[in-house]
Amino acid sequence: MLRIVLGSTLTAAQTADPGLQRLITQGRGSLAVLLGDGACRYRLLGKDLHWDRVLIAFDGERALGFASFRYARRGPFALNWPPFRREFGVLGGSWRFAGFCLSEWREWHYPFLLYGLRVVKAARNHGVGSALVQACCAEALKHGVGAIDLEVPLGNTRAQQLYRKHGFVPRRRRWLAPLLGMRRALGSGTRPSQSATP
Ligand SMILES: CC(C)(COP(=O)(O)OP(=O)(O)OC[C@H]1O[C@@H](n2cnc3c(N)ncnc32)[C@H](O)[C@@H]1OP(=O)(O)O)[C@@H](O)C(=O)NCCC(=O)NCCS
């Protein structure tokens, strides 16, 4: 049975789970030059996640995927310099950390941003991604925002199709990055459901 929970409702033992931290720090492949591979990203960002900005899909105790969001200028990742210094040294860490801060600040104008979405490979095509998108829309409605934005790589047609299915429409291509902006308006009559068949 699929259930989707906000990370801030998890126990300390659950949020300390390296497997869950690794899952949530995946993605953002376009920032590989700044954040390195998945293992490096986990070391940089995994220990200080903002759990109130992450929705996690569980089947029993098993995490199947997550959706993270940015609201009120707070996203899933803390901007902490020490892990960058430890990982890359002062010089390499400085420009990577500055680049990461810039990429985070670039998105601050969105009132509510669907920041990241990922489903583990074994659980794909069973509606988990759809349920996470719907849960994220419900979260946005809870906060009273009028629209939810996201940015998706131009080549990621699978994700684009998923977002279109849930009412997101393309807005514009981002300058200097191979990203497509998409938006879904959240009218007062919108009632996102959370159906899934894992
Ligand atoms: C994109 C992703 C989250 C979809 O998760 P999922 O659990 O497989 O999604 P669902 O099962 O809910 O699929 C819903 C819709 O996605 C689209 N979709 C799923 N698999 C697809 C495929 N192989 N090809 C094209 N579209 C596909 C379809 O529109 C599908 O609707 P349908 O079932 O009516 O055809 C998942 O593939 C993933 O984690 N990909 C890697 C990370 C990623 O790309 N994240 C998005 C970053 S912006």
Q: Is the dihedral of CA 95, 112, 46, 28 positive or negative?
A: negative
Query: Which of 4, 28, 124 for a ligand 1 pocket mutation test, highest count of atoms within 8 Å of Cβ?
Result: 124
Ligand 1 atom closest to the Cα of residue 151 is 48
> What is the chain's mean pLDDT, rounded?
91
pLDDT tens digit sequence for 114-158: 999 999 999 999 999 999 999 999 999 999 999 999 999 989 999
Distance 4 CA to ligand 1 centre (A): 17
Ligand 1 atom closest to the Cα of residue 131 is 12
Query: Where are the domains positioned within the chain?
Result: 2-196
Distance 153 CA to ligand 1 centre (A): 14
Range with lowest mean pLDDT among 26-40, 61-75, 77-91, 184-198: 184-198
- Write out the DSSP string of the chain: -EEEEEGGGS-HHHHT-HHHHHHHT---GGGHHHH-SHHHHHHHHGGGB-GGGEEEEEETTEEEEEEEEEETTB-SB---HHHHHHHHHHHHHHHHHHHHHHHHHHTTT-SEEEEEEEE-GGGTTSSHHHHHHHHHHHHHHHTT-SEEEEEEETT-HHHHHHHHHTT-EEEEEPTTSSEEEEEEE--TT---------
179: confidence class by pLDDT, cuts 50, 70, 90 = confident
Distance 162 CA to ligand 1 centre (A): 5
Atom 48 (ligand 1) nearest CA:
152
Query: Which of 161, 168, 194, 195 for a ligand 1 pocket mutation test, highest count of atoms within 8 Å of Cβ?
Result: 161
- CATH of 2-196 given 3.30.70.2740, 3.40.30.10, 3.40.50.10860, 3.40.630.30: 3.40.630.30
Structure tokens at 92: 């390499």
Choice between 195 and 8, residue whose per-residue pLDDT is larger: 8
Pocket of ligand 1 (CB under 6 A): 117-119, 124-130, 152, 156, 158-159, 161-162, 165
Closest CA to 66 of 14, 135, 125: 135
pLDDT tens digit sequence for 81-92: 999 999 999 999
pLDDT at 194: 46
pLDDT at 25: 94
| 176 vs 195: CA distance, rounded Å | 37
pLDDT at 197: 47
pLDDT at 19: 96
Residue 113 has pLDDT above 50, yes or no: yes
| 44 vs 79: CA distance, rounded Å | 10
Distance 127 CA to ligand 1 centre (A): 8
Structure tokens at 131: 């349920």
Q: Is the dihedral of CA 149, 52, 25, 138 positive or negative?
A: negative
pLDDT at 174: 67
